[in-house]
């Protein structure tokens, strides 16, 4: 089969490789659409971004099951493969598994014509959902998980830092949950425009000054109940904390790979204003947890959550090496990139 194979940092090649052989409990999925996650850019172009080489990256994809008594079934794929034995797994908190594997990171993923996938990781997709939308469920589910970690209530004021695909989904979730004001902080104009089209109350360009100060101005001096960080920048993280009202919650989802920049005033604010800072990683998908994946897919299928407008670029998979070269350059205007595989 054809696949985009990562041979080293920045060395992605579109080439022929043997078809994967499904192990026990696994099926073969013929990939139709695979989308690019922000984490793929660092994984593919960053130094030591992958656990091992060669690796077929890609963990946000959809396609059809081959054989296994369900030939042709349309599915999207949950990339995290939990051990199902550790304590978090026993509680159904698969995203916190101690010994997980991961398609497209720890083992071969979806930038290929075929992928071997544990049957338990398949999520059937209704006919009303296009394959490219089905390749955005991870972003929608991660955004929902993050909103849940912030306990957003009806009437809340919410700030979203970073209007990439996950931030734009979080903007919509906040509105669906009844937030009265959703302020999106984003330096790229095209992304700010899209945030407004998807219902944001206001947008802020953080290159024009302190985002936290501007958020305070927009909220009658109060600040927001919840600030969600998707940009993965230390500046965004500290501005999130500075933008909160008393007893507010900041949730970090974007990966910064750097330290947290906290001034003495920030530290003071955390304790005097009784702020909460939380992390959010991946999404829930067990039957015993609130299943972010199923809910996200259901909202997409019913047209309540729109991920199609986030898809700004479509390329054949053969162009993956040059597309990642472009994605590694700052200032590009691509939001969600989808590879058409078959
Ligand atoms: Zn992802
Ligand atoms: Zn586990």
Question: pLDDT tens digits, the chain, 342 residues: what are they?
Answer: 999 999 999 999 999 999 999 999 999 999 999 999 999 999 999 887 899 999 999 999 999 999 999 999 999 999 999 999 999 999 999 999 999 999 999 999 999 999 999 999 999 999 999 999 999 999 999 999 999 999 999 999 999 999 999 999 999 999 999 999 999 999 999 999 999 999 999 999 999 999 999 999 999 999 999 999 999 999 999 999 999 999 999 999 999 889 998 999 999 999 999 999 999 999 999 988 889 999 999 999 999 999 999 999 999 999 999 999 999 998 788 999 999 998
Distance CA 37, CA 334 (A): 12
**280 alpha carbon to ligand 2 midpoint, in Å?**
17
Sign of CA pseudo-dihedral 251, 256, 258, 261: negative
Which ranges of 150-290 would DSSP assign to H, the alpha helix? 165-176, 189-197, 211-218, 234-242, 264-272
Domains 2-136+307-340 and 140-279 are alike in CATH topology:
no
User: Which ligand lies nearest to the CA atom of residue 83 in the structure?
Assistant: 2
**268 alpha carbon to ligand 2 midpoint, in Å?**
38
CATH H-level, domain 2-136+307-340: superfamily: Medium-chain alcohol dehydrogenases, catalytic domain (3.90.180.10)
**136 alpha carbon to ligand 2 midpoint, in Å?**
25
Tokens representing residue 29 in the block: 């999925």
The predicted pLDDT at position 212 comes to: 97
By the CB criterion, residues less than 5 angstroms from ion ligand 2 are: 82-83, 86, 89, 97
For residue 327, give the nearest of 41, 12, 30 by alpha carbon. Answer: 41
**92 alpha carbon to ligand 2 midpoint, in Å?**
9
- Residue 316 half-sphere exposure toward CB, CA atoms < 13 A: 5
User: Which ligand lies nearest to the CA atom of residue 282 in the structure?
Assistant: 1
**315 alpha carbon to ligand 1 midpoint, in Å?**
18
pLDDT digits (tens, 9 = 90+) for 11-50: 999 999 999 999 999 999 999 999 999 999 999 998 878 9
Torsion of CA 333, 336, 337, 339, to 10 degrees: -170
User: Which ligand lies nearest to the CA atom of residue 138 in the structure?
Assistant: 1
**138 alpha carbon to ligand 1 midpoint, in Å?**
6
**175 alpha carbon to ligand 2 midpoint, in Å?**
33
pTM: 0.96
**284 alpha carbon to ligand 2 midpoint, in Å?**
13
**38 alpha carbon to ligand 1 midpoint, in Å?**
7
**79 alpha carbon to ligand 1 midpoint, in Å?**
9
**172 alpha carbon to ligand 2 midpoint, in Å?**
31
Distance CA 94, CA 18 (A): 31
> What would you report as the CA-atom Rg of the chain, rounded to the nearest whole angstrom?
20
The domain segmentation of the chain, as residue ranges, is 2-136+307-340, 140-279
User: Which ligand lies nearest to the CA atom of residue 86 in the structure?
Assistant: 2
Identify the architecture of domain 140-279 in CATH.
Answer: 3-Layer(aba) Sandwich (3.40)
For residue 193, give the nearest of 315, 328, 335 by alpha carbon. Answer: 335
């Amino acid at each position: 089969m054809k696949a985009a194979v990562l041979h080293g940092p920045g060395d992605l090649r579109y080439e022929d490789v043997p078809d994967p052989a499904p192990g026990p409990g696994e099926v073969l999925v013929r990939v139709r659409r695979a989308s690019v996650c922000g984490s793929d850019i660092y994984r593919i172009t960053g130094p030591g971004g992958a656990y091992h080489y060669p690796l077929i990256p890609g963990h946000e994809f959809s396609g059809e099951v081959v054989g296994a008594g369900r030939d042709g079934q349309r599915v999207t794929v949950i990339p995290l493969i939990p051990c199902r034995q550790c304590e978090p797994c026993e509680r159904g908190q698969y995203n916190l598994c101690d010994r997980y594997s991961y398609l497209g990171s720890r083992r071969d993923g979806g930038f290929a014509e075929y992928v071997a996938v544990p049957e338990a990781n398949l999520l059937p997709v209704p006919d009303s959902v296009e394959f490219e939308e089905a390749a955005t469920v991870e972003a929608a589910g991660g955004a929902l998980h993050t909103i849940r970690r912030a306990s957003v209530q009806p009437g809340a004021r919410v700030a979203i830092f970073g209007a990439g695909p996950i931030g734009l989904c979080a903007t919509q979730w906040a509105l669906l949950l009844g937030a009265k004001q959703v302020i999106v902080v984003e330096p790229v104009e095209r992304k700010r425009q899209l945030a407004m089209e998807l219902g944001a109350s206001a947008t802020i360009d953080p290159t024009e000054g302190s985002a936290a100060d501007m958020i305070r101005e927009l909220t009658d001096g109060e600040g927001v109940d919840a600030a969600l960080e998707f940009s993965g920048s230390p500046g965004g993280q500290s501005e999130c904390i500075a933008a909160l009202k008393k007893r507010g919650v900041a949730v970090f989802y974007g990966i910064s790979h750097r330290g947290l920049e906290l001034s003495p005033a920030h530290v003071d604010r955390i304790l005097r204003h009784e702020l909460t800072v939380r992390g959010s990683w991946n999404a829930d998908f067990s039957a015993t947890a609130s299943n972010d994946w199923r809910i996200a897919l259901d909202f997409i299928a019913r047209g309540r959550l729109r991920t199609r407008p986030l898809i700004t670029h479509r390329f054949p998979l053969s162009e993956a090496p040059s597309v990642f070269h472009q994605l590694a350059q700052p200032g590009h205007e691509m939001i969600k990139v989808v590879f058409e595989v078959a």
